[in-house]
Chains A and B, each alone.
Chain A
Amino acid sequence: MSRLNPDFSTKLKKYGAFDTSLCYNCGNCTAICSLSDKKNSFPRMMVRASVIGMEDKITSSLDPWMCYYCGECSTSCPRQANPGELMMSLRRWLSAKYDWTGLSGLLYRSLPISLLAFLLTAVAVIFYSFKLNFNVETIMHFGHQFEMFAIITVFAIIILPNVFRMWWSVIIKPKVKVPLKAYFKGAGDLFVHMFTQKRTLGCDDSQARWFMHMVLVFGYLALLFTTVVLDWLGTDNMFIIILGYVESIVIFAITFIFMAGRIKRNKELNKFSQPSDWFFVIWLFLMGFTAFIVRIFIDLNIIENNLWMYLFHLIILAQWAVLIVPFGKWTHFIYRSFAMYFDKITETIK
């Protein structure tokens, strides 16, 4: 017995959902979806659950993560209820729900608070640089250490507890019995999906989207590795330097295409960009681009006189690391992979 909660869909609208009540349950969306199957039947059921306000059902469901948003459901919806964007909103809502700090939800719901958070982070970086007397070497050293420190802290304090909460809500709370063996057996899937997003290939739209996305993921992870472990901005090794250039070019080139798509709204999935989407793609672009320029400045030996450039890069980096990664759209990288993993290990049971 579920209790109707009509306020839920109003709440969901703050995460980008459209008028869900327009849905008349024809099921065209589910019929046209090439990823929907008997076990994970979506998006209609999720639309319905949103209309009724069945929060428990949604929280325990992996369906929102099973959708890779080709947008076919929205284009074929006879009522313009936009199920594709609803699934996107549910992912945002779920990300906020998994987040124990509650900051995720706050940033998703409110653009002013998001802007304030970005501003405060920038001020903090400038303030700390001021304390370091705007010394290039110390600041760059700090920047490098900050990166390592941030990755470990964000993972330990935010991401891991949140993944734990996700596991709790989709497996423990609904009392899905998963044998321990299954957790090991499915582990391979976790990494396969994390690094290949191969499920996207099931979508009917262009395969180019999957390819670009995968190149971007690899480019991003590689650049992360190159700067954090190989110390790209501090090294003299020619191979590493060139590698870093290539990776940063890959990042800002692909994110540039993605940004252009969102501006042109050329595909269904680009049509309704929320602030969180813009932050994610713009900051990723800026990360690649500023890193690239900083390295050029280093190679041209003009970085000492142009500290502002590095500060700019550091601000972007800090905002990315403390806002977007733990509380923003970045988390979909983790949740999607774990969703595929949880789906795999519950496969035999359901």
Chain B
Amino acid sequence: MENQKSKIGVYICHCGGNISDYVDIEKVKNLIAREEGVHLVNNMMFTCSDSAQVDIVNDIKENNLDGMVVASCSPKLHLLTFRDVAKRAGLNQYNYIHANIREQCSWAHSDKTELATDKAVRIIRAAISKVRLSETLEQIEIPAINTAVVVGAGVSGMRSAIELADQGTNVYLIEKDHFVGGRVSQWGKLFPTEEPGENLVERLYHKVKERENITLFTGAEIKAVNGSVGNFELDVHITPRYINGMCDEAIQDQVLKACHAEVDDEFNFGLTKRKAIYKNYPNAYPETPVVDMDLCDKCGECLKICDGRITLDQKEENISIKAGAILLNTGFDPYEPKEGEYGYKQVDNVITLQQFKRLIESNGDKLVYNGKKIRDIAYIYCVGSRDAKGENKHCSRYCCTSAIHTAVDAKTKFKNIRNYHVTRGIRTYGKQETLFTDSSRQGDTYFQFFEGAMPTVENENGKALIKVKDALTQNEDIEFTADLVVLVTGMVARKDENLVNIFKVPVGSDKFYNEIHNKLRPVETVIEGLFIAGGCQSPKNIRATMASTLAASAKANSLIQSGMIALEPIVAKVNPELCEWCGACDDLCTYNAFEKVEYEGKTVAKVNEAMCKGCGACTPVCPTNAIDVVSLSDTEIETMIDSFVRDVEFATTTTEEKADSFAEVVDFEKQVRVLPELSQRILDSLETEPKAIPDIAKELGVAADDVLYHLMSLRKYGMIKDTDEINEDEYYLYELKK
């Protein structure tokens, strides 16, 4: 083939023994050097070290290399490192290929070192053949609108909207409810400041309103999304409030009273009723109440009091907005216990923690539920969480803290109540541990059960009877009655399959949205330009939610603010000559990357480079073989396979060569080690007394690094061990293991 790379540099990493202990680097080097196109082969203790990187850069420059292979660990760890090395040396980063000879070779075959060496050679050969064919590629640049859509105006959504706006990005803040604040507005006092959730919502709302580049939509639902990163287009359906501004408070109260249509108040988790004209709570924002048209029977009572402002004939509307990036801050649902789960909906006085929080908020001096005064309260923990065999295997993290905080709060507010916590072990991690102490100090009693023996709740003379096999009392069965049973329910993913379908956002087995990488890329999704934060991703407390939402807004802003987005060029390409548009690729593509275009009088498929992830799923389904993924073409893959399957011809090695590296020291048949010379000298030196590395190096007249390498190998083979002593320079002493 033409354009084949002919001056390739191959760098083989010892990984400090991780590779070189099992793979015979010298042998590999010799074999690789014979490969076509290879100009030089080098081995290094750690290729990723700064000094090694500098050496590689110099090598490439001096020898004018046109391709590079690094054979070391997984590309997941260091692909970007060496792309950077290539860039610094003036080599196109796509003319560098990574060969993984650690995870896929030395670690996996540590028991068969000769075969590991054989496999390493094949892996590197495959990489070389790929480099030979590699093209010089540039990243794809696409224009981006510096506008972000933030879905959900809870504390998380509002916080990220503010942050994005301050960084110069325009924001559309979209809220399904008619009031902002989400879950936090339902929560009452929060630990540790004891500030009510309402206050946080109020503060954030005013900041949102202060910023001209944030547009807030309430009663708004996203119906469809088109386009891709940089240029999303969203269809949003908006339900009006049916009220234009509001009269003064006195009239507002009259209107709320005059309305007679009632329904269970979702905001109070069904504990109370609300009217057709309503606000979630008196200080809810935006301040204007809303008319629930599904409930309103248009009796006209409200119009008699406040005509002109209330306009029941407002129309629902659909708008279309454009944005460069989307942030999902859609939050979570509290777990709804199944009927009969711990007596829920079967035994009177069994409620959820979230309901109890609303109950505390809505009660005055005395705690009353269903007309009965409450004294003894039992809290049953981990309801709908940590269920090893059920749907929700996760720990929701916030519930222990929240339940205990609520118990302390309730005890502070209603003096003569008594709290009983039936737990599966308390997880008030971090600073929240002080809450647990507060709760103990105020006299709360704790029980602990295990998953195998769940507590039960039954009815006993109008009270709830709780039975628990208490691990803290030698698994004795203990029973007690309570006036109220609070089920401490965890967080589950919101029931919003609609959004999942629209955005095609990946969900985990726990139904929460999934990020790309749990640790390294925690707020990005596999869909470029779509970010997730807060409770929709996993159970989080407010603090963790804020951290993730700020991270997401920073990521979104940095992606779109320059007006340009650089994307990986490794995408599918359709050869229009061959394509006959059958639609098979389009049906299959998860990312909606295909579009129909006209080419020389026929309809063919074209790939939207901004949406394609280069997954390659389309290539095998194409009946005319018209699709190839850039840098992963059939030719490249086939050549790699050929290089991989070709036999490795080992030259017979001499004894001297054998002693060169630790990989040689095993005489397979006799299972005897032939030690390298330096190792033997170190052992002889340690014969007399325990010594430190610098002392041995000095004595033998060799570099300390070499001693270290041999010493570590000797230790691994159980021939020496470290003493717990140190010498006067604070170096550890090593001795022979007898």
Interchain residue pairs A-B with the least CB separation, the first 4: A4-B480, A1-B477, A25-B472, A21-B443
A-side interface residues toward B, CB under 8 Å? 1-4, 6, 19, 21-25, 45, 48-49, 51-52, 54, 79
Rounded to whole angstroms, the CA-CA distance of A21 and B447 in the bound complex is: 11
Interface pair B440/A21, CB less than 8 Å apart? yes
Interface pair B477/A48, CB less than 8 Å apart? no
Rounded to whole angstroms, the CA-CA distance of A22 and B443 in the bound complex is: 7
Closest B residue, CB atoms, query A19: B441
Rounded to whole angstroms, the CA-CA distance of A48 and B437 in the bound complex is: 17
B476-502 interface code vs A (CB 8 A; 1 in, 0 out): 111110000000000000000000000
B394 neighbours in A (Cβ, 8 Å): none
B594 interfacial by beta-carbon distance below 8 Å: no
Q: With contacts A6-B418, A6-B445, A21-B445 known, is A52 near B440, CB below 8 A? A: no
Interface pair A1/B478, CB less than 8 Å apart? yes
CB distance from B380 to the nearest CB of A (A): 15
B-side interface residues toward A, CB under 8 Å? 418, 420, 426, 436-437, 440-441, 443-446, 448, 467, 470, 472-474, 476-480
A23 neighbours in B (Cβ, 8 Å): 440
Closest B residue, CB atoms, query A1: B477
Interface pair B445/A2, CB less than 8 Å apart? no
Interface pair B443/A3, CB less than 8 Å apart? no
Q: With contacts A48-B472, A52-B473 known, is A2 near B478, CB below 8 A? A: yes
CB distance from A53 to the nearest CB of B (A): 9
A79 neighbours in B (Cβ, 8 Å): 437, 440
Query: Per a CB cutoff under 8 Å, which of B426, B436, B444, B467 touches A1?
Result: B467
List 15 extra interface pairs beyond A21-B444, A48-B473, A52-B445, CB under 8 A: A1-B467, A1-B478, A2-B473, A2-B476, A2-B478, A2-B479, A3-B478, A4-B478, A19-B441, A22-B437, A22-B440, A23-B440, A25-B448, A45-B474, A51-B445
Interface pair A24/B480, CB less than 8 Å apart? no
Q: With contacts A19-B441, A48-B472, A52-B473 known, is A3 near B479, CB below 8 A? A: yes
CB distance from A7 to the nearest CB of B (A): 10
A2 neighbours in B (Cβ, 8 Å): 473, 476-479
A49 neighbours in B (Cβ, 8 Å): 473
CB distance from A231 to the nearest CB of B (A): 55
Rounded to whole angstroms, the CA-CA distance of A8 and B22 in the bound complex is: 68
B436 neighbours in A (Cβ, 8 Å): 24
A22 neighbours in B (Cβ, 8 Å): 437, 440-441
Q: With contacts A21-B445, A25-B472, A52-B473 known, is A1 near B479, CB below 8 A? A: yes
A3 neighbours in B (Cβ, 8 Å): 478-480
A54 neighbours in B (Cβ, 8 Å): 473
CB distance from B97 to the nearest CB of A (A): 56
Q: With contacts A1-B467, A25-B472 known, is A52 near B478, CB below 8 A? A: yes
Rounded to whole angstroms, the CA-CA distance of A24 and B470 in the bound complex is: 13
Closest B residue, CB atoms, query A49: B473
A51 neighbours in B (Cβ, 8 Å): 445
Rounded to whole angstroms, the CA-CA distance of A299 and B576 in the bound complex is: 132
Rounded to whole angstroms, the CA-CA distance of A23 and B443 in the bound complex is: 10
CB distance from A235 to the nearest CB of B (A): 58
CB distance from A223 to the nearest CB of B (A): 46
Closest A residue, CB atoms, query B444: A21
Closest A residue, CB atoms, query B468: A4
CB distance from A57 to the nearest CB of B (A): 9
Q: With contacts A21-B443, A51-B445 known, is A4 near B473, CB below 8 A? A: no
Interface pair A4/B441, CB less than 8 Å apart? no
Rounded to whole angstroms, the CA-CA distance of A2 and B473 in the bound complex is: 10
B446 neighbours in A (Cβ, 8 Å): 24-25
CB distance from B376 to the nearest CB of A (A): 8
A52 neighbours in B (Cβ, 8 Å): 445, 470, 473, 478
A48 neighbours in B (Cβ, 8 Å): 472-473
A1 neighbours in B (Cβ, 8 Å): 467, 477-479
Interface pair A4/B477, CB less than 8 Å apart? no
B479 neighbours in A (Cβ, 8 Å): 1-4
Rounded to whole angstroms, the CA-CA distance of A86 and B420 in the bound complex is: 22
Closest A residue, CB atoms, query B467: A1
Rounded to whole angstroms, the CA-CA distance of A4 and B472 in the bound complex is: 13
Query: Per a CB cutoff under 8 Å, which of B440, B445, B474 touches A4?
Result: B445
Rounded to whole angstroms, the CA-CA distance of A4 and B446 in the bound complex is: 11
Closest A residue, CB atoms, query B465: A3
CB distance from B407 to the nearest CB of A (A): 12
Closest A residue, CB atoms, query B378: A4
B470 neighbours in A (Cβ, 8 Å): 52
B480 neighbours in A (Cβ, 8 Å): 3-4
Interface pair B445/A24, CB less than 8 Å apart? no
Most buried by A among B426, B440, B467: B440
Query: Per a CB cutoff under 8 Å, which of A4, A19, A25, A45 touches B420?
Result: A4
Rounded to whole angstroms, the CA-CA distance of A23 and B444 in the bound complex is: 11
Closest A residue, CB atoms, query B478: A2
Rounded to whole angstroms, the CA-CA distance of A6 and B420 in the bound complex is: 10
Closest A residue, CB atoms, query B436: A24
Can you report 19 residue pairs joining A to B where beta carbons are below 8 Å apart? Answer: A1-B479, A2-B473, A2-B479, A3-B479, A3-B480, A4-B420, A4-B479, A4-B480, A19-B441, A19-B443, A21-B445, A22-B437, A23-B440, A24-B426, A24-B436, A45-B473, A45-B474, A54-B473, A79-B440
CB distance from B377 to the nearest CB of A (A): 12
Rounded to whole angstroms, the CA-CA distance of A2 and B426 in the bound complex is: 23
B472 neighbours in A (Cβ, 8 Å): 25, 48
B476 neighbours in A (Cβ, 8 Å): 2
Closest B residue, CB atoms, query A4: B480
Closest B residue, CB atoms, query A44: B472
A24 neighbours in B (Cβ, 8 Å): 426, 436, 440, 446
Rounded to whole angstroms, the CA-CA distance of A48 and B448 in the bound complex is: 12
Rounded to whole angstroms, the CA-CA distance of A6 and B445 in the bound complex is: 8
A4 neighbours in B (Cβ, 8 Å): 420, 445, 478-480
B440 neighbours in A (Cβ, 8 Å): 19, 21-24, 79
CB distance from B208 to the nearest CB of A (A): 43
CB distance from B521 to the nearest CB of A (A): 38
CB distance from B437 to the nearest CB of A (A): 8
Rounded to whole angstroms, the CA-CA distance of A24 and B437 in the bound complex is: 9
Rounded to whole angstroms, the CA-CA distance of A51 and B444 in the bound complex is: 10
CB distance from A10 to the nearest CB of B (A): 9
Rounded to whole angstroms, the CA-CA distance of A79 and B434 in the bound complex is: 12
CB distance from A350 to the nearest CB of B (A): 14
CB distance from A19 to the nearest CB of B (A): 7
Rounded to whole angstroms, the CA-CA distance of A313 and B437 in the bound complex is: 51
Rounded to whole angstroms, the CA-CA distance of A4 and B481 in the bound complex is: 8
Rounded to whole angstroms, the CA-CA distance of A22 and B436 in the bound complex is: 10
Rounded to whole angstroms, the CA-CA distance of A54 and B477 in the bound complex is: 12
Closest B residue, CB atoms, query A22: B440
A19 neighbours in B (Cβ, 8 Å): 440-441, 443
CB distance from A155 to the nearest CB of B (A): 38
Most buried by A among B420, B472, B477: B472
CB distance from B350 to the nearest CB of A (A): 18
Rounded to whole angstroms, the CA-CA distance of A79 and B474 in the bound complex is: 21
CB distance from B330 to the nearest CB of A (A): 37
Rounded to whole angstroms, the CA-CA distance of A23 and B441 in the bound complex is: 9
Closest A residue, CB atoms, query B442: A21
A21 neighbours in B (Cβ, 8 Å): 440-441, 443-445
Rounded to whole angstroms, the CA-CA distance of A200 and B446 in the bound complex is: 33
Most buried by A among B436, B448, B473, B474: B473
Closest A residue, CB atoms, query B474: A45
CB distance from B447 to the nearest CB of A (A): 9
CB distance from A228 to the nearest CB of B (A): 48
B443 neighbours in A (Cβ, 8 Å): 19, 21
B418 neighbours in A (Cβ, 8 Å): 6
CB distance from A145 to the nearest CB of B (A): 53
Rounded to whole angstroms, the CA-CA distance of A304 and B443 in the bound complex is: 60
Rounded to whole angstroms, the CA-CA distance of A1 and B479 in the bound complex is: 7
Rounded to whole angstroms, the CA-CA distance of A21 and B442 in the bound complex is: 8
CB distance from B628 to the nearest CB of A (A): 64
Rounded to whole angstroms, the CA-CA distance of A141 and B673 in the bound complex is: 100
Closest B residue, CB atoms, query A24: B440
